[in-house]
Structures are given as structure tokens and as C-alpha cells.
Chains A and B, each alone.
Chain A
Amino acid sequence: MDAFEYASPSTVKEAIALLGSDWEDASVFGGGTDLISLLKDDVEETKRLVNIKRIGALHAIQNDHGSLRIGAAVTIEQLMSASDVRRDFPSIPDAAEGIRSPQLHNMSTVGGWICQRPRCWYYRNGFGLLALDASGKSLVEQGDNRYHAIFGNSGPAKFISPSSLGPVLLALDGRIHIEGPNGPRDIAAREFFVTPQKQGDRELALAPNEIVTGVSIPAASRGMRNGWYEVRPKEGLDWPLTSAAVALKMNGATVESARIAMGHVAPTPWPADDAAKWLEGKTINEDTAAKAGDAAVQGATPLSRNAYKVQLARVAVKRALLAAVGQLATAASA
């Protein structure tokens, strides 16, 4: 880790002014739970750390005419204790519970939860985000890819998006709020996560001189049944192998419309639109949930060592659906 400048602005505008035109010029510093290890391990470099935790405007959780707005500097712990969030969007605290660490809950921010870098072990060992060897071939493809992508991996990117909030936001039709030198903008969560196509590309639709100021969930998503399930080997701190978030608009016991997004299976959260469409007009039970799981993993393209993740993605979708209608406990012990 090289020496860097530390700045702690009190407004978003000041913060943006402190950012640069290249990623190496400056890094936005939220909880630091990922950034500090990236710097210490020499995976990333920065000339300046811009702390955003002193910016009051980024700490709010607000109900704006029915839509939920969460500031980027809100900690995961604050998000978990917000009763409004837990009541209407239980998949958010459920996903947060999957992070099995009080320390991470207390330090990590919502902005960091979506902007954290991939955990790909080639990337983290200094072989670059795309992990290409000298001849341009993928190390992931040749090497140990047990934790890598089973969807969206036809290009050079084989890593998985590490965020569990990502799929939840896709299922809830969430938006990401961003501010840069030209002012604020917002973008559908579904468009925010992108798959790099060539070296130098990033995995988020964000410019080096922009800041994520928060996320929002539209009023229309209130009242939808939420479900979250992650297949995590350990009860203690561990990464999910696969995960799924669902949101169901119900008409009585029947699904009127559905959104399903899988996590930890692709370089981005991965929508399962066909499976969601198939559920319309159906009731959720063990059988329909399993069939939706089957539909969700159609077209999976596992690598040499991660075909098992296809089964785990299928199960995650099934169990998230059952969780959304309160039937998970019975299913698991059946």
C-alpha cells in the first residue's frame, strides 16, 4: 500500500470535486471494509481517499411519497433496524442477515454493499479483474473456477457480482442514485451492474468522478411479497455460493406478476425473467417453486468446476419463492 491523501468533505459537491478522472486518482471511502483490504493487498491503488461518512445527506432512510430512499452512507446495521424497511421489504434485512458479522454490519455502508469489488481469487491475487494470462487466455477457465460464474460468462469476465443487495434491488425494481460533476442522475439497478467486455472496463455503470448517493425502491414495490434465500456453506461469516431474491405481486393466492433475480451466479445480479413470467397466474407451492427454479437455470453455462452451482441456483430460486409465501420452513423439513 502506498501513501495516499485523506479527505473528509461535508457535502456531496465537495466530495465530487475531490474525485478524479481516473479510478486511481481517488477512491470513495464508506465503511472501508472492502477498500482497505484492496489497498493493503496492493490489488488497487489510490492517491486519495474521500470519506463520505461526514456527509449528513447520505445518512437518511426516507419515505418519499411511498418510495423508499436509502442514503449511501447508511450502515447495514441501521438498515436492519429500520422497521419501515423490515415491514415492507423484508428481503433487505434478510440479505443483510446473510452477512454473518456484526463488525461488517456496523461498519459497512449501503453504497459499499453494492459497489464492493468482486471476490474472484485471481483478481484478489493480483491477476486483474478479467484474470487473463500473458497470451490473453482466461486463468479462470484454465484454473480453479469453483466459485465463479455460471451465467453471463461467455466474454472475458468470469467473476461473480459479490453483492447480495444487488439481486434484492433487481427484484424490487430498485434504482441507484448517482451524482457527478454534471449533477444527479439515477439508473435502474438492473442497468447499474454491467459485465466488463475488455481490460480496463469496470463492473458498475459509474464514472470515476461520480458518487453513489443512495438507492431507492418505488412505491409500486410495496405490498409485494418478498423472498430471499442464499446457499451459504457456513453459519458463520462466509460468502453465498448462490442466492436469489424474488418479489411477487399477489392476487389472493395467485401470482399476478413476479420478479426474480439470482445472485452470485454471474458478473452481475442475474434476472430470471422467463421463470418470473412462467409464475404468472400460478400459486406458489413446492412444485411450482421447483419448476420456476428449473426455468431460472435454463441456459446456464458452467465452467469446468462449478456445475454444482447450477443445482444451487435452482434451489435458491425455489426456496426464495417459498420464503416469500411463508412456506420455506415446511419445505426444508419435508
Chain B
Amino acid sequence: MADYHWPPADHRALIGKRIKRIDGPQKSSGQAKYSYDINRPGMLWGKMATCPYAHAKITKIDTSAAEAMPGVKGVVTIVPEGQEVFWAGQEIVAVAADTEERAEAGADAVKIEYQQLPYLVADTDPQQAGAQYTKQLENKVAGNPDQAFQQADVVSEGDYGVPVITHCCHETHGQVTEWDGDDLHVWPSTQAVSDMAGEYVEGLGQMGIKIAANNVHVDTQYMGGGFGSKFAADTWGIACAQLSKKTGRPVKMMLERDQELMVAGCRPSMHAHVKVAAKRDGTLVAWDSDTWGTQGPQAEGSPTLPYVLEVPNVRAKYTAVLTNIGPARAWRAPNHPQMALISNGAMEDLAAKLNMDPVDFYLKNIDLAGSHAKIYRDEFAKASELMDWKSKWHPRGQGSSGVLKRGVGLSIHTWGGRGNMSNCQVVIHPDGSVETNIGSQDLGTGTRTVINIVTAETLGLPLSGVKVNLGDNKYPPAGASGGSTTVSGVSTSTRMAATSALNELLAKVAPSFGTTPDKLEAWDGKIQVIGDSSKSIPWKQACAKLGTASVTGTGRTNNALMSSGVGGVQMSEVEVDTETGIVRMIKHVAVQDCGLVIDVKTAESQVFGACIMGVCYAIYEEKIMDQPTGRCLNANMEFYKLASIADIGEIVVHMMQGPGYDERGTIGLGEPPVISPGAAISNAVANAIGVRVPELPLTPDRVLTALGKVGKEGGMV
């Protein structure tokens, strides 16, 4: 019987190689159809009337004018009269019409009256916010922090913070829905294909529309990014299905860009005042943090501070500020980028106070990272080499004397990434063709390619010998893509299914070799006696022995093929114009482990993308909420700033592979590399200009203020 364990490095044809994503040509040529591209015969367009106030009670809804508008075919109320809305942009009424413009005009014609209520949208500290808007969620003490601070040689104290940002998915949230009798077809932009039927059963049920899960058909072949914000059917999904039901026609309803930025998910802010202490030799002894931030109108969970390094004596407090800014959603590595900035920023400030190279400081304390200490040591060595850290690092603020100052900074991170539940089916047909069926989804991460690689590797075939079917809930169920769980999970279930199918085939062909199946292997397009290519038959010929019946192997996610827990070290080099406060990226190095790497190229692409996303939130991004109006002022791509290709500098990615990594099996990768850029870049700026800029993003106003170049009356200090 073929062994399902991952093949050793010297017996891999595809795994661990650098392979281009198989759907690249479809995507770059426009053949790939995203939810936005789905057009059905007779399809209507849906648009929504939304609330302009941050907090209000709906006193009256009049849809009669909208219903009388030309082209309007159906109207659905999402939030009824008498209910409260808790953020500006919240969806109240959905309108379907025969053109997009008429749907928009229809939504504009809905008359909604409100009673405005008090609100808070400003990202203020708990004291300013007041008791009614705050909720203390943590106040923990470990060890004896008071005594440890007293006995410490050096104490560093500082403020660190990250504002609310959004997900900025290239494809906005939304879907196309269509009823066919009792059956509902949905083409959603989602991270959770196999869960989506349940979402619609529940959501429609609440609206009085009964449907069984086996009548909901979900199809997401391509989607334009989710980053944690696309797990649910959402109000617009349910409203879209209601409009379809009401009008008897397919409806497409995608969020407008401003709605996307206003309502489709926030990353919580996090701000902290931190005290951290060490002995003269750099040994960490104590941590004290008072942290607060907003997660929107609701709050749960607390950050884990300090981050990665388990300092022995800790006091950590966290208070959530409840605001009317729209709900938080998981944003690529929830809480970790904020915790990394606060923790690694404070550590770097302490190292500067100790006049230590931060690499030496971290290595001195790296055993506090627990079982991953060795991984971090390897990664520090690699990152230092790729950044040429030793020649670039200088004591804080002691670089060149000119206006433009360069500096380097670093950050470390961690993540779990255990593969999630998935079921896979691999079918080998008598003509030699192979299909892999799995109800997972490819968010753009390369999942489709990875499944192809694992199937082909297992069956000894080229990539083109396998057809991958995913993104449809008619295939075996697989978990939602969150928590960096997909590639690891589906790699193992695919391996199990492909091995199982292969074993069926080997059983059929063994007699013609005059041997037993356990003596055979699939390799290089052939079935052969293990290690002996002279005793082989080509794949197609072997499959022909199946007669008329295909063989099917099924597999589930298998813990024996995967594990969890990664490290990661990143280093940044920046140049700061000390007259303008403008920060430019020079170079960013990301060294990342994720166990066994299935495809080096798509793995690296994940890390590149994460680093770019990190540059965005480090230097440019901020959801700007305005207390006087209660509105988001920059719900557009003009003042909600993202880095362009010219702003990202050189990015160097290194994946840790080989002994010590491969045997851990597969581990998730999508999130960890986005955690460190904010901290590494902030630290590099501090190293360049000699002072900490406490808050991200590192914009000219913040940098100049930290440099003392902004006077109260506008003059130069």
C-alpha cells in the first residue's frame, strides 16, 4: 500500500518546488469569473438605502416612492421601523431594479425618518469616552511586577498605538442570488463555501423564508480577497435572496466602495501605555501595560501582552471603548499586528535605552519564546544576513547627519495555523484522467494550486494530469478559510484521498506485475515497482485496467501530516525626510517558517502580499471617523490611503525549509507575515530619527510631531 506520509525531500517531484499558480492565466486574462462578473439571464441589480447617522432610531420607512420608480421590481426592508441602528452606513432597505442606475435611484427614493441618538465614533481613551462607552475586559497580574520593576536596572516607558483600519478587499462584499423552484443558487464572494448554505437557511428563516440546506447551492470559483471579513452571508446576502424570491429573478448586489469601507469590517484599534524592565545585561524582568481600543459597538476578548516573549512578571489591563463605527471583523491575524506593534515597539525602546543592538537583545531573551526559541534563532540569523543588519544598524538616532535619515528595525511574531477540517475526494477514471473534489475555496492564496500539487505528487503525475474542483458546496465539505487553516488542512485531506484512490488502483494493477500492491509506487507518470523504473507501466495503461469503473478515494484532514505554531522574524529599512516627516520604505526582509512548504512560489507570494499590506497599515492606512458628523470621512480610495507599487521598496522573502521544518508537516501561512511589518517599520523609523513615533500610521504629521517640529501656533519649534 502506498504510504500517506509526506514523501522525503529526495523523493518529491512537485512538493517544495517553485510552481506558478495554475489559475494565473485565467486571472490575468479576465477569464476567471468573480462574483462581480456573474451575470444571469434576466438579472436585476440590488442597491441599499443606508442610515446616515451613527446612532438613530428608525421612526418611519416609506418605500412607496421607490416602488413607483421606473425599473424598480422589488423592495425589501432590512431593519424595520422602531429599531435602532448603531453606525452610519447601516443597511435599512434593499431595492432591486432592471439596471444598476435605476436600483440606485430607487434606493435614493426610499424615505426613512430617524430620531437621532447620542453616539461616539472618536477613537478616544476610556477616560474621555466615559463609563457608558467603556468595558474593562482584563486586569491580570502574573508574578510580582511591582517588586520586579523596583529591582530592575533599566525601565523603559512609552506609548504605542494602531488606529482602526478596514479590510479593503479588491472585490467588495456581495453576491448574485437566483431561485429555481425551491432551490436557491448563490454566487457569493466568500471565505466559507461549505458553511454558506447554513448561513442562508438561518438568515432566510429569520425573514420567514424556509429553505433546506440541501437546496442551497453555493458557487465561488474566484473571489477578490476577504482577509477575515467574508465568513457570513451578511444582511446584503439575505436581502439579495429575498429580492430574488420576491421578484422571481436573479439579483446581483455588491457593496459600493464607500459602503465597503464603512460597514464591511473594521480592524480594532489598540493603544497602550507600556512599562518594561530589564537587568543591565538585557534580561527581561517585568512588563506593565494599560491597553485600550475600540472594536466597534461590541467588545470581546483581550490582547495577549507582552507578545511572543513570556516575561516572568506581568501586569496587563485592557479596556474596550464601545463606539458607533461599524462592527469589527477578523482582520488577517486578529489582534496580532496591534500586539506586535505595542510589544515589539516597547522592547525596541528598552533595547535602545540599554544601548543594545535589538538582535542581541532578542537573542538574549529568546528562550522566553518557549518551544520556538530555536526557530527564532535560525530566523534571526537568516534575516540579519538578508538585511545586512550588522552593517546597517546604528545606535538610535546616530546615523547620518543630513536631512534624510536611514534606520533599521525588527519585529517577531507567532501564529497557530493548524489545518481545519476538510473532506476531499479524488477520482481516478479508467482513461487516466483524475479529478480532485473539495468544498474548500481559493481566496487568491493558491489553494487550488496546492491541491493540484498534492494530488499530482501523490499519483506521480504532472500538474496537468489533475483537474481540481473546488468553490462549490456540492463537493465534500471543508472548513472556512480563517486562521490560516486552509492550505494545511486541504493538503492533508487531499493527500489522504489521493493515497486512498491510488491504493485502489495499485490493487487492480498489482497482479499484472506479479506482485502485491505494497511493492508498487506511482512515480514519473508510471506505476512501477518501488525504486525500479524498468518494471513499470505508463499511468494511462494502468488506469485502463480499471475497466469501466472509476475508483474514488476519500480523505479527511489528518493531524499526522500537519502541526501548528510558527515564528517569523522581519526587518525593515526606512529613510525618513526629517524636514517633511515622510517615511519611505527602502527594504523589508521577511523570514518565515510554516512547516512543510507545498509550493514555494505561492507561499512566497503570500508573504509578499502580507508585507505590502503591512507597509500600507504602517505608513498610510487609517479609517478616519468624525465625531461632529458621526461619519467616516475617507470612505474612498483617495484619502483611505494604500501604498502603491512605488511605495513598497524592496521586499525580500525567505521561507525556512528543510530539516527541522519539513518534518513538522504543513502549517498555515496566510496571516503570520502580516503581523510584523508595523512594528518593524515603526522601529526602523525610531532608529532613523532617534525618537519613537507612538502611533501608526507613520504620516508626516505624526513624525514631525515626534521630532518636535510642530508648534502649537504653527511655527517651527
Contacts and interface: CB of A to CB of B under 8 A. Distances in A.
Interface string A271-308: 00000000000000000000000100100111001111
Contacts of B584: 235
A84 interface: no
B714 A297 contact: yes
A331 B105 CA distance: 55
Interface string B200-233: 0000000000000000000000000000000000
B628 A139 contact: yes
Contacts of B633: 121-122, 125, 143-144
A19 B545 CA distance: 81
Contact of A332 (B403, B626, B629, B715): B403
B580 A235 contact: no
A332 B716 contact: no
B181 interface: no
A332 B620 CA distance: 23
Contacts of B581: 308, 311-312
Interface residues of A, number: 45
Instruction: Give the most central of B108, B404, B710: most A CB within 10 Å.
Output: B710
- Counting chain A CB atoms within 10 Å of each CB, the highest count among B101, B108, B646, B716 belongs to B716
A144 B630 CA distance: 12
B644 A235 contact: yes
B641 A234 contact: yes
B701 A308 contact: yes
Interface string A128-155: 0000010000010011101100100000
Contact of A311 (B403, B643, B699, B704): B704
B619 to A, nearest CB: 8
A252 interface: no
B55 interface: no
B716 A231 contact: no
Contacts of A241: 700
A190 interface: no
A307 B711 contact: yes
Contacts of B620: 233-234
Nearest to A300: B714
A1 interface: yes
Nearest to A334: B402
A237 interface: yes
A298 to B, nearest CB: 9
A301 B712 CA distance: 10
A151 B197 CA distance: 58
A100 B647 CA distance: 12
B73 interface: no
A122 B628 CA distance: 11
Interface in A220-268: 231, 233-239, 241
Contacts of B709: 308, 311
Contacts of A306: 701
Interface in B592-651: 619-620, 624, 626-629, 631, 633-634, 636, 638-639, 641, 643-647
B700 A234 contact: no
A119 B636 CA distance: 12
Interface in B682-717: 699-701, 704-705, 709-716
A309 to B, nearest CB: 8
Q: Does more than half of chain A's interface fall in helix, strand or loop, or is it mixed?
A: loop
Nearest to A306: B701
Interface string B516-539: 000000000000000000000000
A72 to B, nearest CB: 24
Given A297-B714, A308-B710, A332-B403, A233 B626 contact: no
A210 to B, nearest CB: 29
B61 interface: no
B582 interface: yes
A308 B706 CA distance: 11
A233 B700 contact: yes
B256 to A, nearest CB: 10
B687 to A, nearest CB: 19
A239 B638 CA distance: 8
Contacts of B104: 1
Given A119-B638, A143-B626, A314 B716 contact: yes
Nearest to A231: B580
A147 B704 contact: no
B634 A121 contact: yes
A135 B553 CA distance: 72
A102 B104 CA distance: 30
A302 B108 CA distance: 38
B579 interface: yes
Contacts of B629: 122, 125, 127, 139, 143
Nearest to B619: A233
Nearest to A241: B700
Given A144-B633, A300-B714, 7 more contacts: A1-B104, A234-B641, A236-B646, A308-B581, A308-B700, A310-B710, A311-B716
* A-B interface, 8 closest residue pairs, ranked by CB to CB distance from nearest: A236-B644, A235-B646, A310-B714, A302-B714, A308-B701, A121-B633, A143-B628, A142-B628
Interface of A: 1-2, 42, 100, 119, 121-122, 124-125, 127, 133, 139, 142-144, 146-147, 150, 231, 233-239, 241, 294, 297, 300-302, 305-308, 310-312, 314-315, 331-334
16 contacts: A42-B108, A119-B639, A121-B639, A133-B628, A143-B626, A150-B714, A233-B620, A234-B641, A236-B647, A294-B716, A308-B700, A308-B701, A308-B709, A311-B710, A314-B716, A315-B579
